[in-house]
Amino acid sequence: MEASELEKNLATVHALLIAESMADAADLVRSYPARAEQTGYDNWNGGTAIWEVYFEVPPPDYARMGTRRSQLEEQVTARLKTVLEVETQDWYSAKIVPTKVYRKEWRAEEADLPRQTRINIFDGLRLEGVRWNGMLNDVEFLSRIFDLQALPSLDSRFSDAAGDIWQHCINNDDWEPDWIFSDHRFKLRDGPAESFLRFLCEIVNPVVRPDRDESLKLVMHFNDQLRPNGWELFEEERIAGRARFSYRTLTHNGGQSVLRARTVADALDAGWMAKAIERLERAIDGDPDLAIGTAKELVEACCKTILTNRGVPFTKSDDLGNLTKKVTKELQLVPEGITEEAKGAENIRLILRNLTQLTNNLAQLRGLYGTGHGRDGRHRGLQPRHARLAVASAVAFIDFVTETYRHREGIKTL
């Protein structure tokens, strides 16, 4: 099939998908380049050519589609058949493939975390007076990350880095406390991002820094610098009730909503809400039903954290509506002191009341479509756009109540 003919057919396929409210499949057809390739031939019934229409999707978008790829391919294939069956007996099917990416230096390890970001983090440690090695000495700390016996010594009296670090940091103690930040052997300023991030994770390791609150504070400061560059530290597991952190790239599946939710979690208690936020990020596109249920759980976690911090009692039997009512009352989300004469007073009341109602609607939406309820085989679930609406609503609520909570506590707002 010629490229121009393929474009005309795909335009019609796109129009059908729009008319049938299959927005995600329509976006696929419109947004990504397509090519038709004959992949087989069937001699039955006079001969039939078998064609694949390949939609080439950049690897990050391809990965985010996850299990939805099969559904999108089925939807597009069915409309291709509708468009083409009146003019040909050939078989056409849609196939989503990742765009081939090639860089000459693709095997080389990249330093994809800006030098200035690393310097900012080091400067922050200096300003706060934080010792990077925590409870350990320099050799003990660095041995957890690097093979010090394989690194050269800067002192001719010693054969490796372990020896000269011991001499100058433990025996004589004549190096500056932050010597590691500029030592070229460890390449923390200009080397691979992974080495720098492992170093940060070790700084907040519970063995190095047992104080949970101090570690969470450092992680929040680190993430303020890392997230604009596509990285973050996250709680991977717990050791004796304390968080052990690892690092990962941000996929941005949930856009700014999920990023904002992380900031809110940091402001309240990262340990309580981190897992829900991780599920949100993975589920928005790949499992919308799960995302809707998790959005409700995120609101519950936020309400319970604030009520606990304010000393307001609640029970296991309190549902989401009761929790949000208690938070609304405790934080005075709907101000009663606005006079009728004040311009827009009624609008302010309505906006704030409607904001608290979002949580009740989430609970109902979760009950209808979210996780935790059996479905028959015909149930298709909600689309990612519905999940994004649920997540955005949940984050709008927790963002507002968290800022109000911090204001009431006399803490600088986010």
d(C-alpha 176, C-alpha 180), whole Å: 9
pLDDT for the residue numbered 111? 45
Mean pLDDT of 43-70: 81
Q: What is the pLDDT of residue 131?
A: 94
**Residue 270's pLDDT is what?**
42
Lowest mean pLDDT among 156-165, 243-252, 286-295, 359-368: 359-368
- The residue out of 67, 98, 129 marking a domain boundary is 98
pLDDT band at 165 (very low <50, low <70, confident <90, very high): very high
- pLDDT confidence of 95, banded at 50, 70, 90? very high
The two most distant CA atoms of the chain are separated, in Å, by: 90
Residues 25 and 127 in one domain: no
The answer to whether residue 265 sits within a structural domain is: no
Q: What is the pLDDT of residue 353?
A: 65
68 is a domain residue:
yes
- How many helices, marked H, and strands, marked E, lie in the chain? 15, 5
State yes or no: pLDDT of 106 exceeds 70: no
What does pTM read for this prediction? 0.44
Structural domain for 54, as ranges: 3-98
Residue at a domain's end among 98, 133, 159? 98
Residue 373 in domain: yes
**Average pLDDT for residues 155-164, to the nearest whole number?**
92
Residue 119 and residue 181 share a domain: yes
- Indicate the residue among 98, 130, 147 that finishes a domain: 98
88/130: higher pLDDT: 130
Is 59 part of any domain? yes
Q: Give per-residue pLDDT as tens, 231-286.
A: 888 888 888 888 889 888 765 444 455 555 555 555 555 455 656 666 666 566 66
Q: How far apart are CA 117 and CA 202, in angstroms?
A: 18
Q: For residue 369, tell me if it sits in a domain.
A: yes
Residue that wins the pLDDT comparison between 333 and 412: 333
**How sure is the predictor about 121, in pLDDT bands with cuts at 50, 70 and 90?**
very high
Query: 315 and 224 share a domain?
Result: no
Kindly tell me if the per-residue pLDDT of 409 is higher than 50.
yes
Task: Tell me whether residue 267 is in a domain.
Answer: no
State whether 148 and 41 are in the same domain: no
Three-state SS at 315: coil
Residue 309 sits in the same domain as residue 235: no
Instruction: Flag whether pLDDT at 369 surpasses 90.
Output: no
Average pLDDT over residues 375-395: 65
What pLDDT does 109 receive? 46
Give pLDDT, residue 135: 94
Task: Give exposure, 212-237, as e/b (b: 16+ Cβ within 10 Å).
Answer: eeebbbbbbbbbebbeebebbbbbee
Judged by DSSP in three states, 281 sits in: helix
Task: Measure the CA angle with vertex 361, ends 27 and 387; round to 5°.
Answer: 25
- pLDDT band for position 198 (cuts 50, 70, 90): very high
**Contact yes or no for 93/77 (Cβ under 8 A):** yes
Q: Are residues 125 and 235 in the same domain?
A: yes
pLDDT of residue 348: 62
Do 391 and 289 fall into the same domain? Answer: yes
Considering the domain architecture, whether residues 83 and 126 belong to the same structural domain is answered as: no
237 and 330 within one domain: no
Average pLDDT for 163-179: 92
CA 198 remoteness from chain centre: 19
Q: Please tell me whether residues 122 and 209 are part of one structural domain.
A: yes
Whether the pLDDT of residue 379 is over 60: the answer is no
Return the top range by mean pLDDT from 221-225, 334-338, 383-387: 221-225
pLDDT band at 373 (very low <50, low <70, confident <90, very high): very low
Q: Is 198 inside any structural domain?
A: yes
Tell whether 144 and 94 lie within a shared domain. Answer: no
Q: Is residue 279 part of a domain?
A: no
Strands (E) across 319-405 are located at: none
Work out the mean pLDDT of the chain and round it to a whole number: 80
Q: Is 359 exposed, middle or buried (0-12, 13-18, 19+ CB in 10 A)?
A: buried
Query: How many structural domains does the chain have?
Result: 3
Residues 215 and 327 both lie in one domain: no
